[in-house]
Every structure is written in structure tokens, then in C-alpha cells.
Structure 1
């Protein structure tokens, strides 16, 4: 089996928790991912690694794991079946490679790699070793999107004609690593993947990128925002926007022949957030209150199930390759516009 990324190696027995190690004590691990582990008995945190011993110790004390100095030392441990990797984007590919070669299943933060060729190589490597390699677009597993897809499929808004999706955040402190090209910074890598992934989630996997723009800061060497236009073979379009120099926006809208669906907080809803789905149809407006959900917990559970039973997590294989191809295509076709100093 090659190129699918759905291998599972020797599955961890169904009743046994997957022993998880963390490569990199990042903020997202501290605030979101590791706290969510409490709701996932299929995973057990055993070790956390950092190049900074004090940082590893702080994480280990809070989350009940063995602190490890240096990433290679964690990969050598025999009490780690899988690793969670929240390192800066440019470090994903080399450390995913090393983890797979060490026989570990991998849940990597997005993007899995900064270029499509690396993503394809890593998926093939995981397949050849019988290991799970997942890219943590956790928002796709939030129950709100399944309900949106169900309503679209039911014909509630008629035939889809246009998806509009946006994810943008305010400007960050100048020293933030997302402004550093050497570690894979830039808006497309950091926030642009979300609306692109939403497009495949809602419109399917036959999307073509027909245009894009990227606003580039020549002084820092990264893109600060951008847009993309995609289309399906039957003419359904997706207009996407993203950036990190904007007022906050995190939403999508599906416009059909008979109505519209709009979802706010589409990509970053807190676990206790009750989503509001706005439906406009026949001149009437309805707001449906949806149940809260923890997509960090859902992603961890899906990853554990993939390791333990071979169940496709929805975050691996073809989904990884489609995403990498779309991001690469946006870069390739984009018109680059330099931001005035």
C-alpha cells in the first residue's frame, strides 16, 4: 500500500491506551491539546520533550508525564507508541520523518509539511512502515460541520452555488515566529489552510485553484494574508480569504439555489461554545443552536482509534495529500502583492 497514509502497523490492542509522547512544548499543546487528553482514555501521556529542560519539566509536572531533554531521546523511548508534534511548521517534515523511522505513529500539527513533495514523501513513508500519520486539522471533526453537510445534502438550500470562507486574526507581536520564513511562517501556512480544508470538507475533493493573491511583507519575507478562488467541475465556486493583519473573522457561508447557511466560529470554537447556524430560506431567517463539542478531544480520539483499530481518522492519507496539493497550488498561481513599508 503506497500513497494513502492509512497504514496502522501493529495496532495497539483495543483495550490498551496508546502511549503518547510530545515532541515540542508548544503553546497549543499547553493550552488546548494536552488538557483535552483528560477526555480521551484511549491515549496515555508518558513523556514530553523539549530542548529546554525547565520547559519539559513544567509540562511534565502539569500533565503527569516524564520530562525529556531533546527530541531524539524521546524517540528512543520504548514507552512511547505515538508522538504528537506541535513544532514550528518548517520543523514538521524532518521530525515527522525521524519519528516514523523510529517506528512511532504521528499526529502532526498543521501543516504537515511546507511543500507538497515532503507531504507526499512522508505519507508514503508512513504507509511503507505501516504507521498512522495524521495532520491535525481538528476542526473538521467538530459535530457542527457534519450537521451542515447533512442539511446541504438534504436539499434545504437547494443546489450549492458558492462557498465563502474566511479565517483571519489581528496582527501579532513583531517577534512572533509566524513572521519568520526560516521556520515556515506566513499567513497561508498558519491560517490559510483552514478555509482551504473547509472547501474540500463541504464541496468535495475535485476542486481546482483558478486564482489567488498573497500580500507579502518584503522586509520579513512572509505573506500576511491572501485570497483564493476555487471551482468544482460542475461550477460550484469557493471564495476564500485569510490573513494575520485583520479584525478577527472565522466563518463560512454556503449559498445555494434556494437559500443560505452561515456558521460563525467555524474553525476555533471553544469546547463549551454552542454554535449558532443561521439559515436563510424563502425570505425567512432561522437560527439553530447546536450542541457544543470539543474538536481537540475528537481529533485525539480519532487518532487513537486509527492506531488501535485501523479506523480512518479523517486526518490522514488522501485528506493530507489533497490539502498539500491545494496549498501548493495556491502558492504556485498566486499573484504576490508587496505590502507598502
Structure 2
């Protein structure tokens, strides 16, 4: 049995990291939480004490530590590329929150750097590790809804407090970079895997007084008559779903992107005027993602090509939406 990967966390401010990722690291047999770094030494010490690991008051000091094999970066979007680059240059494998970078060239640079140094670079998109999506795609490819004609993916969440980093442009805020990543990755991973997608058009909107986009949508051409409609937002009622529309029916997955480990998913198949709800097994996408990252570290796996395709597509949507 392989030794657990010694992973450290750069940044202790992320509520998501404290709620989902740190407990997953602590519970996993595949990784060992070795250290936490924060620019707030008190917060670093408090978090490290909770998990019985070391605390660093500097990101650079942690990256210089030879006992750390890998780092997890739950920083604001605008800081991902910088610290992922520094971590790779320091010889660390990298698990970084989405998006890895806010432009295609940055993502390409990071992917090339990881390949050159034989290091894993993994974007922490959790939902792709949940078994419900393989089941849904299997029904579609086996003809349950006839010929696939369109794909609709939506991820919208309620508004957060005004001081939230998602509303700060200097830190990479905005709906596209926070919630838009999910339908974009769904399009790449679930609707057109291995195929190129062409952006037809995009719109982005801001709420009153906002300095970043708080909602948007994009229309993509998947070729062979496949249309993809993506919707995202930070100022909405909660919705997390996607639908395959075919010539003979439609198939929908709800709670698609952030289901808890005990959630019992189902696929809803509509065909011939009848609705069939197909129950699926619960799955822990967070634990699966941690295990997949550990395997990528051990095998020095090349970066997922979807990282680059996603970064390029997000950049195109951003430009079109602001035009």
C-alpha cells in the first residue's frame, strides 16, 4: 500500500475548504494533512491545531518545506494562477480550486510547467467524480432519449453578503468564475467529451450597484446539430441541474453539482408522455476527488486537458458577455 500523500493548504479563509475539503483530507487514507498556511498567523495556528498539523504564517515558507509533497489552493480566483505557478516551481503537486486560471494562456502555461516537471496539476471540480453522471450519460449514449439534440445546464445560487469575495473584481469575482464554471465543465465533460465547442453568443448582467457580473448565459454549438445552453448566477434562487433533450425524450439530473455524500440521486427520464424516476446509489464526490488527486500524484499524471479547454471557453464567454 502506498504512503499517504503529504498535502498542505495555502489559505485558511475559505469557508468551503474548512467545511468540505479539510475534513475530507483528515478522513482520507490517501492523504495526510501536513500543514496549513495563512497570512493571518492566528488563523493558521487555530486551523492547524484542529487538525493536528503544522502552521505557517507565510505561503512562501510552506512552499519551501521539503516534507510537503502537494498543496491545495482554496484562494480567491484571481490568485489561483500565481500561487499554482509558485507551487509547481517549488516542486509541489497542485490541487487548485476552479478555475485554475482566468485565461487560456495562463492555463496553458501552468499545464506545460506541470508536464515539464512531472507534477500533478488538478482542478478541484468535484462533481465529475460522482457516479450519477456516468449513469446519466450511459442512458443517453444507449439511446434512452433518441438522438441527442440539446443540452441545458444551470447553476445559480442566492446572493451572499456584499463583502463576499465573489463580488470583488480585484480578486477575480463574478458569477462566471464562481458558478459559471459548473455548467461549462458539464458541457465539456458530459455533453461533448472529446469534441470542440464553439461559442455562438453570451450575455452577462450586473445587479444594481454591483461591480462584477452576477448572472449570465451562453449558447454553444457542439457540432452535428447539438446546441448547448448554459445559465449561471450569484443572485438567484438555488438551482443545480442539467437536462439532455433528445428526439424521443429528455433526461434530467437535479442536485447535480454539490450533492452531500448521503444524497440519494435519481435520473428523471421523460419519454412518450411518461416520467420514470430511476434511483441511483449515494456517492461521496469529495472523497472520490481526494483519492483521484492522490493517484495523480503517485502516477505523475499529466494535467487533465479539460483544464485548458475550460479556461479557453471561460475566457471567450467573458469577452463576449462584456462586449
TM-score tier by shorter-chain length is over 0.9
User: Quick one: which of 153, 166, 188 aligns to 1:165?
Assistant: 153
Unaligned runs of 5+ in 1: 1-13, 337-341
Corresponding residue number in structure 2 for 1:301: 291
Corresponding residue number in structure 2 for 1:263: 253
Corresponding residue number in structure 2 for 1:235: 225
* Counterpart contact for 1:24–1:87, Cα < 8 Å: yes
Q: Distance in 1 between matches of 2:227 and 2:40?
A: 47
Normalised by the size of structure 1, how large is the TM-score?
0.91
**Superposition CA RMSD, Å:** 1.4
Q: Distance in 2 between matches of 1:257 and 1:271?
A: 34
Corresponding residue number in structure 2 for 1:3: none
How many residues are aligned here? 320
Q: Which residues in structure 2 correspond to 1:89-128 (within 5 Å)?
A: 89-128=77-116
Q: Which residues in structure 2 correspond to 1:185-196 (within 5 Å)?
A: 185-196=173-184
Q: Distance in 2 between matches of 1:98 and 1:310?
A: 18
* Counterpart contact for 2:120–2:301, Cα < 8 Å: no
Q: Distance in 2 between matches of 1:235 and 1:62?
A: 53
Q: Which residues in structure 2 correspond to 1:2-151 (within 5 Å)?
A: 15-25=2-12, 26-151=14-139
What secondary structure, in the 3-state scheme, does the structure 2 residue paired with 1:226 have? strand
Corresponding residue number in structure 2 for 1:9: none
Q: Distance in 1 between matches of 2:26 and 2:36?
A: 16
Is 1:201 equivalent to 2:189 in the alignment? yes
Q: Which residues in structure 2 correspond to 1:245-284 (within 5 Å)?
A: 245-284=235-274
Deviates more, 1:283-292 or 1:212-221: 212-221
Q: Distance in 1 between matches of 2:272 and 2:207?
A: 45
Q: Distance in 2 between matches of 1:307 and 1:244?
A: 34
Normalised by the size of structure 2, how large is the TM-score?
0.96
What secondary structure, in the 3-state scheme, does the structure 2 residue paired with 1:222 have? coil
Deviates more, 1:169-178 or 1:60-69: 60-69
Unaligned runs of 5+ in 2: none
* Counterpart contact for 2:26–2:33, Cα < 8 Å: no
Shift >6 Å, 4+ stretches = none
Deviation digits for residues 271-315 of structure 1 (CA, Å, limit 9, x no counterpart): 111112111112221111211111111111101001112456xxx
What secondary structure, in the 3-state scheme, does the structure 2 residue paired with 1:198 have? helix
* Counterpart contact for 1:167–1:250, Cα < 8 Å: yes
What secondary structure, in the 3-state scheme, does the structure 2 residue paired with 1:188 have? helix
What secondary structure, in the 3-state scheme, does the structure 1 residue paired with 2:213 have? strand
Deviation of the 1:332 alpha carbon: 2.2
